[in-house]
Amino acid sequence: MVESPPPLLDVRDLRTHFATDTGMVTAVDGASFSVPRGKTVCVVGESGCGKSVTGRSILRIVDAPGRVVGGSILWDRDGTGDPVDLATLDPGGPDIRKIRGDEIAMVFQEPMTSLSPVHTIGSQIAESVRLHTDLDDDAVRGRVIEVLGQVGMPRPESRYDAYTFQLSGGMRQRAMIAMALVCHPRLLIADEPTTALDVTTQAQILRLMVQLQAEMDMSVLFITHDMGVVAQIADEVVVMYLGTVVETGPTEQIFTDPRHPYTRALLQAIPRFGQRRAGRALSIIPGSVPDPYRRPGGCPFHPRCAQARPGTCDVVEPATVTVAERRDVRCVLAAEEVHS
């Protein structure tokens, strides 16, 4: 067996908390997963489970009063085995700023509100290039027009001077993707980039992202709650529940052999007949997501778990066990299988 190279990104026991006026929100509470080079990893889970906060924690752009309070975010850009721990950097300091937009870029859900309404898209994309390169004005402009063409923006020269309100939703999201890709990042974090778009445009944007990922040989951390999207684009899956990662593994294994009761419930919640908008149906899982201020003790899933064991699951936090290569499960049942 070939020794696999160190992952591009390795998140260990990440904790991001919001000290709000009404109490502490443990949005991410001990999440661990990694992103291999050149692969697409999908993060899935119900609304509010901490997917977005996890993505933002990596770039250290969590909104106040949120703070990364624990764990490590190991960023190994060149595979030297000597990673930078992003979790220890000052979120307002120059070190993380050099990485943002250059080595790790992000695409957000709402292209309308995520782009400035009063600046042209060209100037917003160019800003990234100016920050991270020494190119002169003409070269910057050329680079921006080139990347606009790459993301399939028609007539990129004239679209340089367009404002967001002059573009359709799909074109705005292409501009957003162009902005993220213009400095050729090693990792693209995409936070539900297609959720706000209509179905046809969704499919186009997804195809575009798959194609660009291959062309540019970058890794993608794709956040979604749509299992249909996962099946379509993911190499690996990270399943999150209440701020924790409950299961990770290669996409095919997750779909054919889910080990965690929550993953199974997620998969059962997908409607048949190939209906794609599966994410909407996730609430079919019995019970509802607990109040973020009062996380249940023991296994966070135990109030809704059909296989929960009283006396164990509601008392002890289950350990994360590695059941196969790149395959972790956080459940007592999986732990017993491995030990027996």
Partner 1 sequence: MMTQFVIRRVLYMIPTLIAVSIVTFLVIQAPPGDYLTTVVARLEAEGQYVDRGQLDALRERYGLDESVWVQYWRWITGIVLHGDFGQSLVYSAPVSDVIQERLGLTILLSVTTLAFVWAVAIPIGMYSAVRRYSVGDYAATFVGFIGLAIPNFLIALILLYVSYRYLGQSVGGLFSPEFVDARWNLGKVLDLLAHLWIPVVIIGTAGTAGMIRVVRANLLDELNRPYVVTARAKGLPERRLLIKYPSRIAASPIVSTVGWLLPSLISAEIIVSVVLSLPTTGPVMLRALESQDMYLAGSFLLVLSVLTVVGTLISDILLARLDPRIRYGRR
Ligand X SMILES: Nc1ncnc2c1ncn2[C@@H]1O[C@H](COP(=O)(O)OP(=O)(O)OP(=O)(O)O)[C@@H](O)[C@H]1O
Beta pairing, strands 187-191 & 84-85:
unpaired
User: Is residue 156 close enough to count as binding ligand SF4 by CB under 6 A?
Assistant: no
Which residue, among 30, 4, 2, has the nearest Cα to 17 in the 3D structure? 30
Of 62-70, 159-167, 227-235, 297-305, the segment contacting ligand SF4 by CB under 6 A is: 297-305
User: Is residue 301 close enough to count as binding ligand SF4 by CB under 6 A?
Assistant: yes
Which does residue 179 bind out of ligand SF4, partner 1, Mg ion, none, counting CB within 5 to 8 angstroms by kind? partner 1
User: Is residue 32 close enough to count as binding Mg ion by CB under 5 A?
Assistant: no
CA angle 333, 50, 224 (to 5 degrees): 90
User: Is residue 305 close enough to count as binding ligand SF4 by CB under 6 A?
Assistant: yes
CA angle 184, 54, 325 (to 5 degrees): 80
Burial class (CB in 10 A: 0-12, 13-18, 19+), 181: buried
Peptide bond into 154 cis (omega under 30): no
Cα 290 to its chain centre, rounded Å, is: 22
- Contact string (CB under 6 A) for ligand X, positions 62-101, x = contact: -x--x-----------------------------------
Which does residue 52 bind out of partner 1, Mg ion, ligand SF4, none, counting CB within 5 to 8 angstroms by kind? Mg ion
Rounded to 5 degrees, what are φ and ψ at 194?
A: -115, -5
Which residue, among 331, 149, 329, has the nearest Cα to 249 in the 3D structure? 329
Footprint (CB under 6 A) of ligand X, residues 21-40: 25, 27
User: Is residue 268 close enough to count as binding ligand SF4 by CB under 6 A?
Assistant: no
User: Is residue 57 close enough to count as binding Mg ion by CB under 5 A?
Assistant: no
Footprint (CB under 6 A) of ligand X, residues 116-175: none
User: Is residue 224 close enough to count as binding Mg ion by CB under 5 A?
Assistant: no
CB 314 within 8 A of CB 296: yes
Contacts with ligand X, residue ranges (CB under 6 A): 18, 20, 25, 27, 45, 47-53, 63, 66, 225, 292
Contacts with partner 1, residue ranges (CB under 8 A): 56, 59, 61, 63-64, 92, 97-102, 105-106, 108, 110, 113-119, 127-128, 131-132, 163, 165-166, 176, 179
